[in-house]
Structures are given as structure tokens and as C-alpha cells.
Amino acid sequence: MVETSVAKPRQEQPLNSLARMSARKEAPKMSGEGRLERGKIEMAKVDKHSHEAIKAKKIQKKMPPPLWRERAEFLPATAEFFRRCGIDPQYVNPTPLGEGLTNVVFAYIAPDGTNKVVKLAREARKGFMSTGYEQDAQNIALVKKFFGEYAVPTEIHRDPETGKYLIVQDAIEGKAVTNKLETQSVRSQLVDMARLNREMMRQTGYSMDFIGVPGMLTWFRHQFRQIVTNKSEFEISNILIDKEGKLKVIDEGLLRLKKSETPKQWIGSTSGFLANRLIMRLYFGVDLQPDLTH
Ligand SMILES: Nc1ncnc2c1ncn2[C@@H]1O[C@H](COP(=O)(O)OP(=O)(O)O)[C@@H](O)[C@H]1O
Ligand SMILES: [Mg+2]
């Protein structure tokens, strides 16, 4: 028999959340004597060619590197905020998955096991895209209403104690739309989305932000890189192509052009819209703005 010294049961280890996630995934495979801890296996008295020893060695190799255990955790106040919003912070990966102008985005595994993202608004950037809960809730509803299948299931969770909130959205596994992705399917979906955007603008005065600030930054970079390489491209950061090739709007932020409530929002919206309209017309041949003359 293999002699193993398992210091503590796995559950008692101070695992960080990602390790917990992987523990959850790996748990069925590692029941019983498989629950070995990295570096704790005493191999001396065992024939190293025995079946058990080989198996133990394999398990040892599969364990995550020790670095994982020292990774950052959320601050207690943030973890508490998650809890009050109905999110178990242990299932949120503290390393951000992405970020934009307003949000920092984290991967989250929902209680039903589905992959989601949690979006937290940065304190310093609040007010550019949305003035608060009501506008964000309205944006989510409008994207769903006007963009239908292109919208991603999105919820807004409010902390009853402080009134602060976060956004939970289905995670989209896919790639960004770039100016080099010129498949017929992507093009026709963009034409369709521009049509829906014109309709939303006609009815509400709001436009979707197709490109987003990270996308704009890739566009600026592209202006220089394209001089030296023809591999240069830029991204539309708020739309992803999912595994089935369907375009999905992952940023529920809208550019509020007509009913802007604050100067901050007006500046953000108009400059964002101008850039969006020009770039979408130039590179993708679509117009985001309706003809308002008739
Ligand atoms: N539903 C999602 N699935 C996968 N990645 C996402 C999702 N939502 C956001 N992201 C990632 O996070 C980044 C920023 O998210 P976004 O909602 O666009 O923030 P902002 O409103 O600040 O622009 C995106 O560019 C993308 O990389
Ligand atoms: Mg964005």
C-alpha cells in the first residue's frame, strides 16, 4: 500500500477561490485515497514502479502550482458586498477577466454551475455612461428589447444596505469582432445590428456603444501598427462572436445622446458616438444613426 501523509483534509486548506473552483471540478476524480496533497507523499518505502506509486505521482503532477495559494483575495468589504448582492465571493475569481471604461469584470460560477461574469463599476468612472441604478437597469432592458437575440442574459443585483449594485451576465466564450473578420455572417449580423440601433435611436435617442474604450485604444494602436505590418487590426470590444458564430452584445452601457442628464454623460456619449459612427461606417460600411430628416 502507498503510505501517504495527508496533513489536513482538503476542505480545511486555506484555498483561494480559483483553487476552490478547481477543487470543485476535480473533487469527483479525487475521492478517497486520491485526496493527496502536493509534496506530502512519502515515497521512500514504496516501490516507485508500483501501480499506486505511478498513480500518486500523476496526481502530484496535476495539482496546481503553489503560487495559486498566494493569489490575491477580495478585500473583506468587497466580499461582504458580493454576499449582500446574493453572490458567493468564493465563486468569483479575484483576477479580473476584462475591463472597460466603467467596469471591472470577474469570472463567476453561478450556483447552477453556469459560467457568468460579475461587473463592478469603478468608483472614479461613474457617471460617464450611467448615472446609477435606474439608468443601468433601463439600459439592460433596452438592449434586450431592441437587440433581442444579440443581447446576453443580464441581471442587476442591488445591495439592500448601501444601494450599490453589480451586474451579473452570462459569460460569452468567444472572440472579438475585428476589422479583419470579414465573413459574410459577421457582416450581415453587423448590418442587422446597425438597423436595430437606428431603430433604438429613433425611439429613444440612445445608441449602443459598439466599439468601447478598449476598442478605441486598439484602433489608435492600429493607426501606427498598420504602417509597419499588414497583420495589424483593431477590435470592437463590446461585441463578441460566440462559439456558434452569433454576435453578442456584452456591454449593456448605452450612449445617451438626447436626454443626457449631466455634462459628464454628454461628453462621454457624444464623443463616443462620433467615434463609433465614423469607425463603423468606414470599416464595416454600416450607419448607426437614423436619417432624422423625415
Ligand atoms: N459577458 C461577458 N463574457 C465574457 N467577457 C466579458 C463579458 N462582459 C465583459 N467581458 C469582458 O470584460 C470587458 C469589459 O466589459 P464591459 O462590460 O464592456 O465593460 P465597460 O462597460 O467598462 O466597457 C470586455 O471587453 C470583455 O473582455
Ligand atoms: Mg465595454
Residue 231's nearest CA partner among 286, 173, 176, 178 is: 178
Parse the chain into domains and list their residue ranges. Answer: 10-70, 76-170, 175-284
Residues 6+ away with beta carbon under 8 Å from 119: 103, 104, 105, 106, 166, 167, 168, 169
Which ligand has the minimum distance to the alpha carbon of residue 154?
1
Predicted local distance difference test score (pLDDT) of residue 10: 41
Predicted local distance difference test score (pLDDT) of residue 129: 79
Q: What secondary structure letter does DSSP report for 41?
A: B
| Residue nearest atom 24 of ligand 1, based on CA coordinates | 98
Lowest mean pLDDT among 57-66, 85-94, 208-217: 57-66
Predicted local distance difference test score (pLDDT) of residue 259: 62
Predicted local distance difference test score (pLDDT) of residue 218: 93
Ligand 1 atom nearest the C-alpha of 174 is 4
The average confidence (pLDDT) of the chain is 82
As a CATH number, domain 76-170 is 3.30.200.20
Residue among 102, 103, 122, 126 to mutate when testing ligand 1 (max atoms within 8 A of CB): 103
Residue among 97, 140, 155 to mutate when testing ligand 1 (max atoms within 8 A of CB): 97
Ligand 1 site, CB within 6 A: 97-103, 105, 117, 119, 152, 169, 171-172, 212, 214, 237-238, 250-251, 253
Residue 203 has pLDDT above 70, yes or no: yes
